[in-house]
Structure 1
Amino acid sequence: MTIVRLGQGDTVLAPEAVGAKAANLDRLIRMGVPVPPAFVLPIAHCVAVLAGAPGAEAAMRDDLAAGIAWLEEATGRRFGDRRRPLLVSVRSGAARSMPGMLETVLDVGATTTATRGLVRATGNPRFAFDCRRRLLESYGETVLGLGRAPFAARRDELMRAEGVASERDLDGDAMERLVRAYEDVLGRADVTVPDDPAAQLAAAALAVFRSWTSPRAVAYRGLEGLDALRGVAVTVQAMVFGNRSLRSGAGVAFSRDPSTGAAAPVIEMLIAAQGEDVVSGRRTPHGEAAFAAALPEAAARLGTLLGQLERAFGDVQDIEFTVEDGALWILQTRAAKRTPMAALRFAVDLAEAGVIDTAEALRRLADIDEAALIRTRLAEPGEPAARGIAAAGGVAVGRAAFDADSAVALAATGDPVILLRPDTSPSDVAGFAAAAGIVTAVGGRTAHAALVARQMAKPCVVGCAALVVSPGSGRATLGGAVLREGDWLAVDGDEGAVHLGTPRTVVERPPELDRIAAWRAGAGSEIRGQRLPMAP
């Protein structure tokens, strides 16, 4: 086994060998798109490690050391260095996209020495200690299995003491104290984050491999018909820092609206943040206008790239990006998860634009049940109890459930269920599957909840600030009304609205279905255009 250095060879990388993420990044580099240097442990490593093959873990460590040596040469930084430290992300990548189901560890290499090195290199102690606290939290949750709660409790305690509403408002001194608090959490649990960067890296890679067999990943593959996949690759990439300054940020962008199918980009980002802040759904991000106002050059460059990548890959793209001190970097591109309605409109629009031919458009729609394309809407919607962000279209009426287990149990009675959560995590996938609709109090259209809802064709509203869920209490408040488990409500994923009770619904047939019927009958020869290579 060996590593694969992205963008360095003449061979086209196969997703089945290195994962779709790495295969697409390799292609981006060859196109001249700004991508941080990266290497990959292929899926064969995962297969060997999970099978307990003799020497598999030792071979993995040797390959990681070789890859880090190459990244050091490519970046001019050194792993764990006291002056110019290299930090890396450790990301998962299966042959087919499994958004949020597998693990990622960021800021690997942020040892105590390297953290001081970041202070020396940047003159920004707050940034340096923010990277260190992010590593401790990510490593503690992902590698050591401590969960989010103990870190969140200490963070909230410090914020109350400082009189601030968010960790974004903590200064450098407070952020250093937060690091000490996180180290205390680890100590009380009798675990530690090693201060050897190579040990951090190996443990993070193993955690990614082992996440392949986690209950949520297994459940997701079963739901999506991906049981034939063999394992996951690990992409190790030089960190670029969206949390470095107010001219930095991170976000997710779609080349077209994945909920409605509208031919307009959807961009969500946060200033002075890393990518996990956006996709986790724990914060509600800013939209395209705020991005353009704060970082106009990066926003313009991203807008151009969205169109270029859609044409190059022949499909609507979901892009993860970071801006570091004004410079735009692309960390991932993949075919966007979409609602059935968006899939229909994408196929028709791309065929009419000549990006794909009609045969390809029909192929993309072959597995979609046309009944799912019949649009349901509220007959007389009236004033909703609360509003949020429309994340996945359609209307669902059902009974309230406040966690995944309750959603599964309530759905087993035969009634439709609406899952309401403060935010969501990939561990909620069983609740997603059981629910007819989803509502979250925070998050944006690019959060895990929205991505999975679109893929599963579930109406979804996120960023519903008027929703307050009290975990474990069996109750919530929605715009001043008290909801108890089992109460009826309606989710309008087109309007971003939540209604109490059981309002009447009507259905409509989208006109694009007539176009598809004509193509199937052999018409549509006026649609011309050469089919382009498809994204894995």
Structure 2
Amino acid sequence: MSDTKRVYRFGSDAGGADITEGASSMNYTLGGKGANLAEMCRIGLPVPGGYTITCQTCMEYSSAGNVWPEGALAEIEEATRDLEARMGKRLGDPQDPLLVSVRSGAPFSMPGMMDTVLNLGLTDASAEGLIAQTGDPHFVWDSYRRFIQMFSDVVMGVDGDLFENALTEKRLVAGVKTDAELSADELHELVGEFKRIFCEHVSGEEHPELIQNGAVAFPQDPSIQLKLAIEAVFGSWMNERACIYRKANGIPDDLGTAVNVQAMAYGNKGETSATGVAFTRNPANGARERYGDFLVNAQGEDVVAGIRNTVPIQKLAEYPALKQAADDLERIFQILENHFHDMCDIEFTIEQGKLWMLQTRVGKRTATAALRIAIEMVEEGLIDKETAVRRIDPAQLDQLLHPQFDTSAKVEVLARGLNASPGAAVGEVVFSSDDAVAAAAEGRPC
């Protein structure tokens, strides 16, 4: 077995005790997400227990043609058993199952470029056990259908639209507008439909480990689920959008991504639960105000995928059942800024009133915001003038030259979406980067 340490533990156990084997300085080993999860543990913030597989393991795996380095799987197995012991639950347990998320985390922030799998560990048997534990079949079947969809899309490459279309049809038949309004029985039916889609679109020749009784079946062994999910996250380091992002941002291809395996915190346990993303300051204009979005009774991917209308973070405290968590989050915002001496970008989940921190990193911002934040942090005594100057990327100042919409102009609004660019644009609307490239090649402004 290799002497190289491949797995680092972090987070709270079932009794609230914390452990951390990493720190924020280890981002080239643990990736930015893993390093900052460890750092949040160090400063006493609530972080669900988990472990981080190193970036170097990813590169060894990829360089060997997607072959696991000697001893890596054994160390991951040991870390999984340790996490089960810390949480007092076991993956796949038909009575009281542990469920985990599997998330990427590169040394440099690459938001939205790589892959995530949530609710891993759900099987037919563990779903029934979780219903018995929680008394909430709606939550369990909602979580299971989410897991099947995400695992199929991210890990197995099944077209995500197949599941979205089935979900849309189910809402239409039920006469409801949102997923949360579907009944437990309707969600249970979706689980069966999603498994059918999985079986029809996954190749048994490519994945013989998924063959049961002579046919492909959705994996009921959490160890197979976990191994395939980790491999998929490693593989996402080299997906097209990640490669293009690295090229555009000058990030080397030989760094690899870490993988964070973490006990799930659930934002979809009813009206006392929520999930969201937020910045400690406004990343668009730099104002010293909280900025972000959340959803009640939802999971994180609902917020960042742009498929549901979110609620501004400023309204979190207006929900009586979430008021304490909103106050805790406000306190943590200040702790993070004081600790990192910068504007932070966070992900959080509130599970039945309890706030959990899932990620923090130095937040990306527009050039306008960067200038204002740097100046104001000098005035607040958080940084000195030399640090402020170093934080302004000369290339970023190009954003200030982008054409901007005249805010006083009268416009006819045809549609609204979630903003994700620094300026205004004119041309034909297209819905993928490939379509944009094709249109430009034909001389069509888009």
Give TM-score, length-normalised by structure 2: 0.88
Write 1 or 2 for the structure with the bigger share of strand: 1
Aligned to 1:148: 160
1:333 to 360, 377, 384: 360
2:409 aligned counterpart, secondary structure: coil
> How far apart, in 1, do the equivalents of 2:370 and 2:426 lie?
25
Distance 1:77 1:306 in 2: 31
Q: Distance in 2 between matches of 1:252 and 1:161?
A: 32
* 1:355 counterpart (370, 382, 394): 382
Task: Read off the aligned partner of 1:5 and give its amino acid letter.
Answer: R
Pair 240,284 (structure 1): closer, same or farther in 2 beyond 3 Å: same
* 2:437 maps to 1:408: yes
In the alignment, is the contact (CA less than 8 A) between 1:255 and 1:266 conserved in 2? yes
- Name the SS for the 1:354 alignment partner: coil
Residue type at the aligned position of 1:372: Q
Q: Secondary structure at the match of 1:129?
A: helix
Please, which moves more after superposition, 125-134 or 149-158?
Answer: 149-158
Closer, same or farther in 2 for the Cα pair 1:399/1:363, shift >3 Å? same
* Per-residue deviation, 1:228: 4.7
Question: 1:77-156 maps to which residues of 2 (within 5 A)?
Answer: 77-156=89-168
Q: Distance in 2 between matches of 1:247 and 1:110?
A: 23
User: Please, which of 258, 263, 284 is the counterpart of residue 259 of structure 1?
Assistant: 284
2:80 matched to which residue of 1?
A: 68
Contact 1:255/1:264 (<8 A) preserved: yes
Q: CA deviation at 1:406?
A: 3.2
Structure with greater helix share of residues: 2
Contact 2:101 2:116 in 1 (8 A): yes
84-93 or 67-76, larger mean C-alpha shift: 67-76
1:220 partnered with 2:232? no
1:62 CA displacement: 1.7
Map 1:132-531 → 2, pairs under 5 A: 132-190=144-202, 191-294=216-319, 295-368=322-395, 370-373=397-400, 376-378=403-405, 381-386=408-413, 388=416, 391=419, 395-403=423-431, 404-411=433-440, 417=446
Q: In structure 2, the residue corresponding to 1:242 is in which secondary structure?
A: coil
Which whole-Å CA distance do the structure 2 matches of 1:58 and 1:245 have between them?
A: 44
- What residue number does 1:4 align with? 8
- TM-score for the superposition, normalised by structure 1: 0.74
For the aligned residue pairs, the C-alpha RMSD in angstroms reads 2.2
CA distance in 1, matches of 2:374, 2:126: 49
What is the CA distance between 1:53 and its match in structure 2? 7.0
Letter of the aligned partner of 2:330 in structure 1?
G
Please tell me whether the aligned partners of residues 325 and 350 of structure 2 are also in contact (alpha carbons under 8 angstroms).
yes
| Aligned-partner residue type, residue 364 of structure 1 | R
Paired letter, 2:7? I
When residues 11 and 204 of structure 1 are mapped into structure 2, their CA distance, relative to the original with a 3 A threshold, is closer
Q: Structure 1 stretch 407-416 or stretch 24-33: which is displaced more?
A: 407-416
Whether the aligned pair in 1 keeps the contact of 2:349 and 2:358 (CA below 8 Å) is: yes
Q: Distance in 2 between matches of 1:109 and 1:46?
A: 22
- 1:308-341 per-position Cα deviation (integer Å, ceiling 9, x unaligned): 1011111100000000000000000011111111
What are the ranges of 5 or more consecutive residues in structure 2 without an aligned counterpart? 12-18, 203-215
1:339-395 CA-to-partner distances (Å, cap 9, x unmatched) read 111111111111111111110110111434545335854558432111747846764
1:43 matched to which residue of 2? 55
Residue 101 of structure 1 and its aligned partner are, at CA, apart by 0.6
Q: What is the distance in 1 between the residues matched to 2:172 and 2:181?
A: 11
- SS of the equivalent of 1:303 reads helix
Deviations 1:199-232 (A, max 9, x none): 1000000000011111111111001100254201
- Deviation (angstroms), 1:411: 4.2
Distance 1:9 1:324 in 2: 23
- Give 3-state SS (helix, strand or coil) of 2:168's partner: helix
Secondary structure of the corresponding residue to residue 126 of structure 1: helix
Structure index of larger Rg: 1
Aligned residues between the structures: 417
Matches of 1:362 and 1:186 in 2, distance apart?
52
Residues 14-68 of structure 1: per-residue CA shift (max 9 Å, x gap):
1101101010110100111000001011112111211227972663332221111
**In the alignment, which residue of structure 2 is the partner of 1:31?**
43
